[in-house]
Structure 1
Amino acid sequence: MRERIPVVVQGRRTRRSSVARALWTGAELAVTLGVVLLLLVVHQLWWTNRQAWDEARDRVTQLERQWDTGRPPGPGRGGAPGSGDGPVDGARTPPGGAPARPAARTPAAPPPGLAYAVLRIPRIGVTAPVAQGIGKAAVLDRGYVGHYPRTAQPGATGNVALAGHRNTHGEPFRHLDRLRPGDTVRIDTADARYTYVVRQILPRTTPGDGTVIADVPHSTTHPAYRFTAPDAYLTLTTCTPEFTSTYRMVVWAVLRSTQSR
């Protein structure tokens, strides 16, 4: 009687081991990728805000200290308000006095990137420095509000056009959609405090709708939103919907009062 020799088949086991290693490697890569993505989200939604809030708060403090101690203000200092055409499109005379008169000329623009004013929006709790320019690295990503080049300076006839992030990097305009007609928006400079009153809100328009920051602002895309006469305007712009840059939201205000320092 012949003795049978057992035969061990290893091919199937080897294949199973290879599949297991591949699955394990894929799982490790998926977990690593998930951790990296989570860290990126935390960086964008939390860390960039923390950095921008700290820098913006420090810059506001520096500006106010300079103004309070009587140091010479930075570039952009202008003269006293002069003549103007008065309120338009339903603007009302403030209680106890005549409507504010905008300045007759626009002060010189400050150097790019310089924070020279402070924007305050009480309804949504915004206090942010205003810097010249709308570049991301130099202005917006620092938590600042950016002043569009070639638009009017605060208090002057024309249109003071400002831009700010709605999400990340300080997101000063996160809740801009909560503003309503009649709300106040203030801009403090070395010379004066300018108080504007919200008149119109354009919830959504295209990024190419450039006439929203014209001297007499209006929307080419949505013609029903417009002003028709010269005055001292303030325009606030930001991206919409949140976490996208598909469209722009626009808030328009008109100068109501000027308080000299």
Structure 2
Amino acid sequence: MIARREVILGGSLTLLWAAMHPCAGTAQARSRAAYRGCILTEAELSSYYDTKAEMRMYMTGREPIIHKSGNAAFDYALAQTLARLTATLQVLPGFAYYDDHDGLNAFASDAVRMQKADGTVLFGSRLLRRLMAGDDHPDVAVTAVCAHEYGHILQFKRGLIPRLQAGQTTVKRAELHADFLAGYYAGRRKLEKRDYPAAVFAATQHSFGDNQVSHPSHHGTPDERAAAIVAGFKAGYEQGRPLEDAITTGIAYVSRL
């Protein structure tokens, strides 16, 4: 279990805004030799993540807001959202923005760039602007992408990637399992807040689906991605499963696809 103090100190928000080289949960063209979905190795992360750039962490939610996204209210709200993701999925990654100039994207890596962290999530600044330009709860669309990447952090922490990828020629199972976990978070959130627009999660991931079913970077078709969100939502909201059960239920779900 992650202690409440750790959630407050590490799970809220670490922001990095720098001119970095770029990549979402989609099958966009990339220059990497071996594409593995929205997962980065430590070496690849280092090419994006400038450790000398200025960083700030919101520890209690009361510190002065650093205008990293250009919207102070959004930065504060995202800090609280990431803390909820940490508490629900029991992971504690560092979080950073980067300049996704060669394709809207977000990434997860098991490389650690923050003390006591379980890994690192990178969120493209251009992807952020695109999602925030939407007209249907854009902040929740951002949360959907963050939840997917936090799902990957959980996979790293629990050593699930080899099990999910065994015998597979694409990254689809690992990606849909991360979608399932994102849907699970949406379900748990709706239990707390009955008017929470959880359907936005399914719509967001549907928009990032692809039909390149034989490509190694295939994340799942639009319908498969939305369906994985819905299945995870049911596990969290309708069935009220604890996290451990949701993880195994999600593995069983993607293994049938």
Please tell me the TM-score bracket, short chain as reference. Answer: under 0.3
Judging by fraction of residues, say which structure has more strand. 1
| Higher relative contact order, chain-length normalized (CA < 8 Å, sep 6+) | 2
TM-score normalised by L of structure 2: 0.27
TM-score normalised by L of structure 1: 0.27
